[in-house]
Amino acid sequence: MVVVGDSSVLIALKRIGHQPLLHTLYGQVHVPDAVWREVFASATPAHSVPTVPPWIVRHQVRDPSVGESLRDQLDRGEIEAILLARELAADLLLIDERLGRQAARRFGVPVRGLLGVLADARRRGHVPALAPLLRRLRENGFWIADDLIEETLRAVGEASPSP
């Protein structure tokens, strides 16, 4: 399975110490240069080498000009992730932003967001419960609408957490 990642899913899972779930679920995760810089280089002090998991594969997008029409709506990482997913004929693009997901679908790229990744991990038995992870995401500044949390918890057979 060829999976391309945008920064939001990688950063969110990294914040709660669950980035390796991506490797467990998908093996390698391919990222374009812009995402790699945002996730790994920007979080690293100037004189040190970033620690990048070996299952993250960095790519340069062949023709970034193809995404010019998206520049008004999306950031560079989202555009490059969509283009890389097309170039690699990816089975899945991990992306959370609504406009990015819509653009990816217009380009024929299947998408899954953070909650979908976590739900997959729960269904496959890689995490014992989703509610604590969703709580930790919120505690670490990741915004998730209440209705999405409830819908996701219902989908994996967990009761909704108390408000």
Q: Does domain 3-114 have CATH number 3.90.1010.10?
A: no
What does pTM read for this prediction?
A: 0.88
Structure confidence by residue, pLDDT tens digits, 19-77: 999 999 999 999 999 999 988 886 555 544 567 899 999 999 998 776 677 878 898 99
Q: How is residue 13 written in tokens?
A: 């899972």
The stretch 95-110 carries a mean pLDDT of: 93
Residue 84's CB is within 10 A of a number of other CB atoms, namely 27
- Residue 74's closest CA among 47, 35, 41, 39? 35
Q: What is the pLDDT of residue 48?
A: 47
Residues 6+ apart with CB under 8 A from 101: 95, 111, 113
**What is the side-by-side strand order in the sheet with 92-94?**
56-59, 29-32, 3-5, 92-94, 111-112
